[in-house]
Structures are given as C-alpha cells and as structure tokens.
Amino acid sequence: GFMQTSPLDVRTTSVGCSSNAEHGVDAEWDAFSHMIPARHTSAAGVLHLQIGAPWPTWIRFILLAAAANTEITFYFLGPPLESASECSNCLWLPLDERSLQRRVVRYLNVSGITLSPRKMCDLKPMWATLFPELTERHRWIAYSDYDILYGRLADEVAALEENDEMLVPSSYFPQPLSNGNLVFIRTIPKMVNAFRRRLFPPFTIPPFTIPSFPLPSVSDPTVYDPTVYDPTVYHPKSAHHESSFSWTPIHKCRRFSCCHSPVWRDALRHDGYWVFDEWWGGAGDSMVEVYNDMWLHGEVQARSTRRHLLQASCSLDARALHPSRHETCITLNGFEGCLMALADGAG
C-alpha cells in the first residue's frame, strides 16, 4: 500500500512490493484504483506515462516543479520512481507494457498494437479514457510530457471559468490547439471522448436534446461500450460531479456523430508514430482536425495559459539565431517551481 513518512518529512507515495507488483499490475484492475489514497483528490490531475525504459535522469526537476503546485495531483505511471518522495502531491503507480495493453483492449477494444515510446504519444488523447479511475477523481485532467517546467500551473487552472472546457499552452492558441506537450480537458463526455469524433458537414445531423439521466460508472463495461462514440454517453460519477446531469439542447453540436471515427483506430494500429496527438506531419488526420473543427463551430470553449511554459527544445534550423552569437549570457535559477531567467547582453 501507500506509505507515509513522519509529518516532519516530505510525504512519499510508493506501492509496496508483492508478487504481482514486481511484474506489473495484476490483471484485476480494481486493485489499481484501491491503491489511490482519497487524500490526493484535487480539482485537476496531470498524467505522465513511461513505458519500456526508466524515467529520465532529470525527472527530479519535474517533481520539484510539480511539488510547487499543491492544488494539482500529478500521476507518474510506469517503472519505479525513487524520487517521488520529493513531491507530496505526486503519485507513482506501477504500469508496464502488458498492463497498458490490457487497458487498451478493455477500454478501446483494440488489440495487437505495439507500444513503442513514440506510440505512447499517439495514445495521449485517450489517456483520460484508459485511466477512468484517475479521470473521475478530477474536474480537469491533463496529459503532459516530462520535459516541461510548469511554473505556477495551479494558478492557470484556478483562473479557469465554469464554461471553459480546455486549457492549452499559449503558444498553441488558438491554432492548432492540439499539442503533445500539455493539454487540460474538462472531464465531461464531449471532451474525454473527443478522439472518437467523426467530422460531418454541419447539415447532416439535425438538432436534438438529451434528457437528464443518472451517471453510472464508466469503469463498468456492462453499461459503457468503448467502441462507439455516442454523445449521450454519461460521464463517470466523481467527487466533482453531481449524481445526475442535466443536458441542455445541443443544436450547436449537431456535428457530433453517434458513430465512432475510424481514424483513431488506424492511428493506434499504424506501425510507426501516426502523430495523432500533435500538429506537425503525421500519417493522417489527428486531434488537430478534431479540436479545430470543434473550435471553429463553437463547440468547445478553449482557453490559453496566461504565461508561457518552458520546454526543453533543440534548434534544428541552421538559420536560427542563438544567444551565443550575440554574446548574451543567460543565468537560470529555480524558485518556487518557476524558472527565473536573467539575460545579460543583446537579446
């Protein structure tokens, strides 16, 4: 189970060893949710996944940046994470390729895919669906890379309004919206299932109204068919949602299809990296088309961060200008989760 050190120490969250824990999570996924302590429930959660290799050596700095955002729960799913004790609002949960394959089969009804490190990126828009035990605990859920220093990310989440449904880095707003670095979505059916969306001309589906109905658990496969995207599908009951949900007329959402789109399945079965999550290149349509279509037709309320997020990057353009060419000295220091940069010289 989860262990906690003395109150004088930073809390640590690690899963005790067992015969199953040594070889990945047991096939009974109910045990997965039982490992999550209720005390970590927060308005927003951020998912990090790592399969097939240890966590990168710089993960400690990501944990320190996460620790400064105590109003957000950060999940690290993958191999053991020894430095998790440095972040009281971070949770490590065991996950390996075999375990993730089982979730893909159970919640997406897709089998036989190869989960290479780059393939994990194709799965990003589906992470909220693959881990309903985590999604249902929050009003907002996000996927994230682990080469980002978050700064005051909790302030960005706190600034969201009741009608907001999406939060993206300012550099990706208002186009292309979809990016592989960091995306928050509100945990409502329209957003969690957006990857299933099929694009139709706006005149093909007439307006209709969905009545109120109870919200059963999305974890119960007997009441949720993960192979079909239906806009009448409920959202899982959670601490942040009422036990019933009243839908309003959605004549503005007539472009929703009750049939699932085949594109996301093609992306998963593609041998290489489809770039389903991102805005560049790719082997076909991606979340770029989905989100942009929703945005252009007024079917999603997206908001950008008020500040820029710093991400590790490498310039591959020979024409790019580098600070060293202008005799600029930049000093970087961390302070309360933020990266403070001091430049001396030409900028």
Q: Are residues 132 and 234 in the same domain?
A: yes
Distance CA 310, CA 338 (A): 9
Query: From the CB of residue 321, how many other CB atoms can be counted at a distance below 10 Å?
Result: 9
Q: Are residues 255 and 279 in the same domain?
A: yes
Query: Residue 6 falls within a domain, yes or no?
Result: no
Q: Give yes or no for a contact between 255 and 200, defined as CB atoms under 8 angstroms apart.
A: yes
pLDDT for the residue numbered 22? 34
Q: Are residues 323 and 235 in the same domain?
A: no
How many structural domains compose the chain?
2
Distances (CA, A) of 258 to 83, 226, 266, 288, 289: 45, 12, 19, 20, 18
- What tokens were used for 135? 């999604």
Is the per-residue pLDDT at 58 higher than 50?
yes
Mean pLDDT of all residues in 248-272? 58
Higher-pLDDT residue of 147 and 21 is 147
Q: Are residues 151 and 290 in the same domain?
A: yes
Range of the domain at 320: 315-344
Is the per-residue pLDDT at 24 higher than 50?
no
Higher-pLDDT residue of 49 and 198 is 49
Range of lowest pLDDT (59-68, 149-158, 316-325): 316-325
Query: Residue 13 falls within a domain, yes or no?
Result: no
When computed from its CA atoms, the radius of gyration of the chain, rounded to whole angstroms, is 21
Provide CB contacts within 8 A for 39, sequence distance 6+.
none
Q: Are residues 173 and 195 in the same domain?
A: yes
DSSP string, 139-176: SEEEEE-SSEE-SSHHHHHHT--TT--EEE-GGGTTTT
Query: Residue 94 falls within a domain, yes or no?
Result: yes
Comparing CA positions, the residue from 327, 18, 306, 339 lying closest to residue 150 is: 339
Q: Are residues 163 and 87 in the same domain?
A: yes
Query: Residue 7 falls within a domain, yes or no?
Result: no
Q: Are residues 225 and 319 in the same domain?
A: no
Query: Residue 161 falls within a domain, yes or no?
Result: yes
Q: Are residues 198 and 222 in the same domain?
A: yes
Query: Residue 17 falls within a domain, yes or no?
Result: no
Distance CA 18, CA 25 (A): 10
Is the per-residue pLDDT at 119 higher than 80?
yes
Distances (CA, A) of 265 to 235, 262, 295, 326: 22, 5, 23, 48
Long-range contacts of 170-176 (CB under 8 A, 24+ apart): 170/304, 170/305, 170/306, 170/307, 170/308, 170/309, 171/308, 171/309, 172/279, 172/304, 173/302, 173/303, 173/304, 174/295, 174/302, 174/304, 175/292, 176/279, 176/288, 176/291, 176/292
Question: E strands, the chain, where?
Answer: 44-49, 72-78, 90-94, 140-144, 148-149, 166-168, 182-186, 213-214, 244-245, 302-304, 310-311, 329-335, 338-344
pLDDT mean across residues, the chain:
70
Under DSSP, the state recorded for 124 is: G
Query: Residue 22 falls within a domain, yes or no?
Result: no
Query: Residue 8 falls within a domain, yes or no?
Result: no
Q: Are residues 193 and 241 in the same domain?
A: yes
DSSP string, 75-117: EEEES--GGGGG-TTEEEEE--HHHHHHHIIIII---S----T
Q: Are residues 90 and 177 in the same domain?
A: yes
Comparing CA positions, the residue from 103, 92, 93 lying closest to residue 28 is: 103
Q: Are residues 230 and 258 in the same domain?
A: yes
Under DSSP, the state recorded for 122 is: H
pLDDT for the residue numbered 254? 36
Q: Are residues 277 and 335 in the same domain?
A: no
Is the per-residue pLDDT at 315 higher than 70?
no
Which tens digits make up the pLDDT trace of 129-170? 999 989 999 999 999 998 888 889 999 999 999 999 999 998
